[in-house]
Amino acid sequence: MTTYVLDTNAVLAYLVGEPGTDVIEALFIRAEATLCQLYMHAINAYELYYQFYRHKNEDEANQLWRNILQLPLTVLYTFNEEIVKTAGRMKGTFNLSVADSFLLAQAILLDATVVTSDHHELDTVDQTGTVSFHWFR
């Protein structure tokens, strides 16, 4: 079974109907049919929450959180030595944001494919073959 780790922008695109929603929706349909597994690291979920809190308000951020919990994905609250060191290596090697380094670390530890559209930050990583990517736009 294929395992995916979703980036912040993948879930955001789905929730607000941005381009690429159809690709993310297809993954959710596959997950509901137990044809794949979908995960999101808590740091990426945190990114979504704070964006809504900062740019909208607390009520909308809380509604967003409820919406995330209704999706057929598992939010992983992984924060152990293994993920911290793996994320640190990703950040040190590729000069990424903390959130992106945890996204990649979680994918590496789960042997999963990253679902993202963040070419600006992650194309360099994709070119190395360190992590598998599923680009949704």
pLDDT tens digits for range 89-102: 999 999 999 999 99
| One-letter identity of residue 113 | T
Q: What is the rounded (10 degree) CA torsion for 64, 12, 1, 94?
A: -120
Average pLDDT (114-124) is 97
Q: Which of 136, 89, 127, 135 minimizes the C-alpha distance to 108?
A: 89
Question: What is the residue whose two structure tokens read 């929730």?
Answer: 15
Helices (H), strands (E): how many in the chain? 7, 5
For 96, list phi and psi in degrees, rounded to 5: -100, 170
Q: Could you give the percent of the chain with pLDDT greater than 70? A: 100
Residue 56's H or E segment, with its range, is none
**Predicted local confidence at residue 121, as pLDDT:** 95
Name the DSSP class of 94: H
Mean pLDDT of the chain: 97
**Predicted local confidence at residue 123, as pLDDT:** 97
pLDDT bucket at 50, cuts 50 / 70 / 90: very high
The rounded distance, in Å, linking the Cα atoms of 81 and 124 is 25
Count Cβ atoms within 10 A of the Cβ of residue 16 and give its class: 0-12 exposed, 13-18 middle, 19 or more buried.
Answer: exposed
pLDDT bucket at 18, cuts 50 / 70 / 90: very high
Q: What is the pLDDT of residues 24-48, one digit of tens each?
A: 999 999 999 999 999 999 999 999 9
Q: What is the rounded (10 degree) CA torsion for 122, 72, 20, 110?
A: 20
**Predicted local confidence at residue 3, as pLDDT:** 98
pTM to 2 decimal places = 0.96
CATH number for 2-135 (one of 3.20.20.140, 1.10.1060.10, 3.50.50.60, 3.40.50.1010): it is 3.40.50.1010
